[in-house]
A and B are shown apart, each in its own frame.
Chain A
Amino acid sequence: MNRQNAAETILSVENISLSFGIMKVLDDISFDIKRGEIRSIIGPNGAGKSSMLNVINGFYHPQEGSITFKGETRKQMAPHVAASHGIARTFQNIALFKGMSTLDNIMTGRNLKMKTNLFWQALHLGPARLEELENREAAEQIIDFLDIQAIRKKPVGKLPYGLQKRVELGRALAAEPDLLLLDEPMAGMNSEEKEDMSRFIIDVNSQFGTTIALIEHDMGVVMDLSDRVLVLDYGKQLADGLPDEVRRNQDVIDAYLGVPHEHA
C-alpha cells in the first residue's frame, strides 16, 4: 500500500476558501492526493469535510483557491465536467436513483462511456444495442465484484441500507474513475457491514488502482485503511500526514477530546 511515495500527485488543492453568506465553511485548505493512495479526511461534524468533497467535484464553487486535477488547474468546474475528467463519488446520505434497479443504477454510472445517439437508441439496433450489451457486461463485472448478484434486478429503493451503500459504490465504480470520493461510506453500518465495505474499498484500490479520498468517522477504519490522513476542524486544516503521525498530533487529540462531539 505504500506506493504513494513514488507516485505522482493526481489532485492538489491550494488555498481553498469557501463560504455561504457570512458562514465560512472552508478556510484556506491546501493538500494533495497521490495517484493510487487512500486518503482520508476526518474531523468533527461540521468541519467542512463534505464541503471539501463538494468543492473537489465541482458542486460547490469556492471563492478562493484553485484545484489541480491531473495536471489541469482550475478554480471551478461543473460537476458533470468533473465526472467526465474521472472523478466519481458516493454520498453521505444515499443518493441512489430510487426508481431504478441496481443494474440500471450501475448502468447509469456508465453513461459517460456510452455515446450512441437518440436515433439509434430509439431503434435499439446496431451501435446502440452493441453499446448497451458491452456496458452491461462491464456493469456485471461490478455487480460480481461487489457480490450483489442477488439484487441485480431489484429496485434499489427497497434494499437494506448496507446494500444501498454498496450499490452506490458500484455506481461510482461504473464510471471507472481515476479518483473516487467516498463520503462516509460506512455511516450507519454494523461492524460486519463495515468490514465488508473496508474490504471492498481496499480491493477497489488494489484491483483497479483507483485513487480514493474518503471521509469517515470510524477512527479504527480510517487508521487501517488510509495511507494519509487530513484533519479538518471548523473549516480549518488541523493536521495532515501518515495515520500514526495524525494519531499523535496534539491538536487533533484536543479537537477530538476537548470539544464534545456527537460521535465516539
Chain B
Amino acid sequence: MNQQDKDTALDTFPKLLQSHVLERPTRDAIREKDLGIWQSWTWVEAAAEIRALACGLAQLGLQRGDKLAIIGDNRPRLYWGMTAAQSLGAIPVPLYQDSVADEMAYVLDNADVKIALVENQEQVDKILEIMERCPQIEHIIYDEPRGLRDYEHDFLHSYEQVQQLGIGYDHDHPDFYDREIAAGNGSDISIMLYTSGTTGNPKGVMLSNDNVIITARNGIERENLTADEEVLAYLPMAWVGDNLFSYAQSFVAGFCVSCPEDASTVHHDLREIGPTYYFAPPAVYENMLTHVMIRMEDAAQIKQKLFHYFMEHARKVGGRILNREPVSLMDSMLYKLGNILVYAPLKDVLGLSRTRLAYTAGEAIGPELFDFYRSLGINIKQLYGQTECMVFVCVQPDGEVYADTVGTPAIDVEIKIDDNGEIMYRSPGVFQSYYKNPESTASTKTEDGWVHTGDAGFFDEHNGHLKIIDRAKDVGKLNDGTLFAPKYIENKLKFFSFVKEAVLFGNGRDHSTAFINIDLNAVGNWAERRGLAYSGYIDLAGLDEVYQLINECVNKVNRDLSADSRLANSQIHRFLILHKELDADDGELTRTAKVRRNFVEERYTTLVDALYSDRSECHVETQVTFEDGRTGSLAADVRICDAQVFAQAAASQEAAA
C-alpha cells in the first residue's frame, strides 16, 4: 500500500529527481567527458542546475504546455533542459541535431516550439536561418558560447544567463519551482518525439509521463537493472531509445548516464566508461565487427590463426554457454582458455567487458553478427519496439535468445496479429496521440487502444517468440501470387559486410531484382588487399571483381531463400550496384538511415526498367547534394548482372550434402 503510494507519487520526472536527491544525494547522476576528464554531477548538483534552468525558462515565458525544442549532441545541459521543461509542465521536443535547417523548420513550426535550447553556434545559425518560418519561437538558448560573441540578438541567451535569471527568480519566488512540480502528474504529456516516417512529414508522438515512466519501470523490472548501471548516452536525443535508456530509465532506476566528449572519441569514451547496460542499432554492432575484422587482418599470422581458431570455437559453443545450455567439459575448458587469450581482451578493447545487457533494435540484425557478440559472452538481445509505445513491444528473454526472433512480449504488453498478418499491440506505454494530427492518430491507434505497428509477422510455433518479416505495407505479391517480403531479403543481403544497403523490387512483377550499395570501407579494404586500384566509390562499384564478389553474396541469399517454400520464388534474378551511395541529403534515406523505397524507385526509374529488360548496362544521370549543400549532377554507366537462381529441390539437396 505504502509502496503503491510512493509509486503514484513519483509520476513525473521532476518528482523522480527529487526522490533521488533524497535517496542518493551524493551519487553521480550524470557525467560528461569534458576538458579531458569525466566531469560529474551528483543528483543534488544536477537538481540544482535543473532548478535554476527551470526558473530561468519560466522567466523567459515557458509555461505549462509550451514546447521547448532541444537540439544538440548528448550533453548534460540538454538533458537538464528536458527535466527543467517537465518541471514547468512544458513539453520537451528533442530534434535530430544533424538535420538541415529545412527539416528543422517543419518540426519547429509543427510543434509550436516557443523556446529552443541548442548546443552551439551551428544550431543557432540553423535556427536563425529559419526563424521567420517559425514565428512562435521566442527565445534561443545556447550552451556553447564559442563563436557567438558577436551575435547581437535580444532573443539569444546563453545557458548561464538563463540560469542566472532563474536563480534570481527562484530567490524572489522560493516556492514557485516546487509548486510547479507538484502541479504535474502522470497524465501530463512528458515528451514529444517526432518519428521520421518513411513517407510524408514527421509526426509528433505525444507520450505522457505515465507512458514513459511505467514502460521504463517495466523494462527495469524485467532485466533487473539497478542504480549501479553505467550507461553511455551517445545516440541522438531525438530517438526514442535514447530517451528511454539514457533518460527515463536513469531517472527511474537512479543510475548514472555518461555523455561522450566528442563524436570522434565515442569509441574511446565507451571503453573508459565500460557500460554495463548498452544499446545500439545493428549498424553500430556491424561497424564494430567490421573494424574488428579489418584490424585483425593486419595482425601477425600467428595471432590471426589464434584469433580465428578461438572465434570458431566460440561460434560453436559460446552462444550455448551464454544460454546456459550444457557443453562438453573439453569445449568448456577450451572456451575458458579462449576467454583468456581472445574473448576477454577483445571485449575489453571494444569496451564491452562489463556489459551485462546489450540491446539491439530498430532493424533486424544479421545472425552472424548477432552470434558473434553472443559467442563472446556478451548478452546481446533483440528487442522490438516503436516510438508509439515508448519502445518496448517484445524483448528476448535471457536464455532464450535466437537470431531470427524478437522474443516474447514485454511486461504488460498484449500482442495480436491481425488478418493481414500485421502485428498489433496494446500496452501502458501506448502514446496519447500524434500532435495536431488526428487523422494519423485515428489510423494508427484503435478506439480500444490497439496500435497498428505496420509490420508483418507471426509467432514461431516452437518457442512462441515473435518473428518479424517486413513492413506490412511493403509485403507484396509477385505476379505468380507468392509472398514478396523485400525487407526480409534486403536484410539478408545486408548481413554481408560488403553490402551496405539493398533495395529490392518485385511487387507486382514476375520476379525480384535488386539495387546494391556496397560498403566502401569493407569492399575498399578487400580491394586493397587484392591490389585493385580504384579512385572512389563509383570506380570501385564498377569493378568486375566487385561485381563478382557481390554476385556471390546474392547467390548465397538465393540459396537460403530457395530452402523456404514461402520465399523461394522471391530469389533475386538480376541486380546492379548503384553508382552512388544512398544518402539522406538526397532524400533517399530517412534521417535514421532507412531506405525510402518508393522514392528510390521513382528516382531511378530508368535503372529499374533496365533491371527488367535484358540490357547489361544502363546510363543514368542523377542530381546529388554535396555536403556543403551545393547540388550537382552525377552521370554513370551502371552494369547489370544476372544472379544464379536455385530450384527449390536442388537447394535442399545441396543443403543436405
Contacts and interface: CB of A to CB of B under 8 A. Distances in A.
A150 B146 contact: no
B36 A207 contact: no
Interface in A131-148: 136-137, 140-141, 143-145, 147
B265 A150 contact: yes
Contacts, number: 31
A152 B268 CA distance: 12
Contacts of A140: 35-37
Nearest to B121: A203
Given A149-B265, A150-B262, A150-B264, A144 B149 contact: no
A207 B35 contact: no
Contacts of B149: 206-207
B150 interface: yes
B267 to A, nearest CB: 10
Interface string A203-226: 100110000000000000000000
B264 A144 contact: no
A152 B36 contact: yes
Contacts of A137: 35
A149 B264 contact: yes
B147 interface: yes
Given A137-B35, A140-B35, A150-B262, A145 B268 contact: no
A195 to B, nearest CB: 10
Interface in B230-248: none
Nearest to A1: B150
A143 B36 contact: yes
Given A150-B264, A150-B265, A150-B268, A145 B146 contact: yes
Contacts of B146: 145, 203, 207
A88 B340 CA distance: 52
Interface string B131-163: 000000000000000110110000000000000
A201 to B, nearest CB: 13
A149 B147 contact: no
A137 B147 CA distance: 21
Majority DSSP secondary structure for residues of A touching B: helix
Interface in A176-208: 203, 206-207
B288 to A, nearest CB: 18
Contact of A141 (B35, B37, B150): B35
Contacts of B264: 149-150
Which of A103, A149, A206 gathers most chain B CB within 10 Å? A149
B412 interface: no
A207 B36 CA distance: 21
A205 B572 CA distance: 60
Contacts of A143: 35-36
Interface string A229-257: 00000000000000000000000000000
A210 to B, nearest CB: 13
A144 B32 CA distance: 13
B34 interface: yes
B261 interface: yes
Nearest to A139: B36
Contact of B261 (A103, A145, A149): A149
B147 A203 contact: yes
B36 A136 contact: yes
Contacts of A147: 262
B606 to A, nearest CB: 34
A43 B36 CA distance: 41
Contacts of B36: 103, 136, 140, 143, 149, 152
Contacts of A136: 36
Nearest to A136: B36
Contacts of A206: 147, 149-150
Nearest to A103: B36
Contacts of A149: 36, 261-262, 264-265
Nearest to B265: A150
B506 to A, nearest CB: 42
Nearest to A147: B262
A140 B33 CA distance: 11
A259 B175 CA distance: 77
A162 to B, nearest CB: 14
Nearest to A151: B264
Nearest to A142: B35
Contacts of B35: 137, 140-141, 143-144
A150 B260 CA distance: 11
A141 B36 CA distance: 9
Contacts of B265: 149-150
A149 B36 CA distance: 7
Nearest to A206: B149
A262 to B, nearest CB: 29
A209 B261 CA distance: 27
Contacts of B150: 206
Nearest to B261: A149
Contacts of B268: 150
A145 to B, nearest CB: 7
B266 to A, nearest CB: 10
A143 B150 CA distance: 22
Contacts of B261: 149
Nearest to B268: A150
Interface in B35-91: 35-37
A207 B121 CA distance: 13
A169 to B, nearest CB: 15
Interface string B21-35: 000000000000011
A152 B272 CA distance: 15
Contacts of B37: 140
Nearest to A202: B147
Interface of B: 34-37, 146-147, 149-150, 261-262, 264-265, 268
Interface of A: 103, 136-137, 140-141, 143-145, 147, 149-150, 152, 203, 206-207
Given A136-B36, A144-B35, A206-B149, 20 more contacts: A103-B36, A140-B36, A140-B37, A143-B35, A143-B36, A144-B34, A149-B36, A149-B261, A149-B262, A149-B264, A149-B265, A150-B262, A150-B264, A150-B265, A152-B36, A203-B146, A203-B147, A206-B150, A207-B146, A207-B149
Closest 4 CB pairs between A and B?
Answer: A140-B35, A150-B264, A140-B36, A150-B265
15 contacts: A141-B35, A143-B35, A145-B146, A149-B36, A149-B261, A149-B262, A149-B265, A150-B262, A150-B264, A150-B265, A150-B268, A203-B146, A203-B147, A206-B150, A207-B146
